[in-house]
Structure 1
Amino acid sequence: MNTLEIKIMKYGEIEAVELSGALVLGTPVNNLRQKIDNLTAHGANQFVFNLTAITRMDSSGIGLLVMIMSSTKEAGGALKLVNPSKQVTQTLKMCNLLPLFEIFSEEQEAISSFAKS
């Protein structure tokens, strides 16, 4: 079963999104898109996605990450990734997308990096 658990914590202006499970076509991608769309509609544009517990990601999941990264950048913000699995890192690398993302090993490090931007 392809399920995705989404937990969102707010740290000042930063939305820390912890994902666990499969970020794949269908309900998982649609649910995450709806949550992020709701946050951006209320002015959020700084996101940290903790990918530590992502077990699988397909092209729809990658497409959603790219879309979120692009829209946050246009709004003057950023999307930063935390601890993507080897599979996710390899997939981003194969698609030549790895250089587009700031990647951190710890969530707190990613959150703190916004103050330095």
Structure 2
Amino acid sequence: MDFQHEVKNNIIHLNLSGDLIGENNGPGILDAINDHLNKGVNKAVVNIENVRYMNSSGIGVLITILTKLRNKGGEVVLLNPSDQVKKLLVITKLNNIFNVFEKESEAIDFLEAA
């Protein structure tokens, strides 16, 4: 699992790739989110287009990000989930909790309006 993050227009852009299984990279991802939260950035686009596999720990990482940002009055959107990850979101009913977008421009428009 690899991740990159940057802030553009007061929105965290988090790009994940590989297998999101939480155990090794979860703390690093959450540390990056916490750093940005401490600077007042409370909205994020999490691009999961290149996530091949996600287990319960990976789902936990996404839920933790969502909880942290919403607790600070912010919002998180997921961008470009693979078909396998989409199925997982439906099975776990997380598609009702997360806003999911196929286009980055739509995700950013949503966050700017939130």
Question: What residue in structure 1 maps to residue 108 of structure 2?
Answer: 111
Task: Give how far 1:115 is off.
Answer: 2.3
- Which region of structure 1 is more displaced relative to structure 2, 28-37 or 18-27? 28-37
- Which region of structure 1 is more displaced relative to structure 2, 37-46 or 51-60? 37-46
Question: What residue in structure 1 maps to residue 54 of structure 2?
Answer: 57
Assess if the C-alpha contact under 8 Å between 1:46 and 1:77 holds in 2. yes
- 1:5 and 1:107 map into 2 onto residues whose CA distance is 20
Identity of aligned residues (%): 30
Residue 78 (structure 1) aligned to one of 70, 75, 84: 75
TM-score when normalising by structure 2: 0.90
- Give structure 2 stretches of 5+ with no counterpart: none
Assess if the C-alpha contact under 8 Å between 1:22 and 1:28 holds in 2. no
Task: Give how far 1:29 is off.
Answer: 1.7
Helix, strand or coil for the counterpart of 1:27?
coil
Question: What residue in structure 2 maps to residue 8 of structure 1?
Answer: 5
Question: What residue in structure 2 maps to residue 101 of structure 1?
Answer: 98
Matches within 5 A, 1:22-61: 22-61=19-58
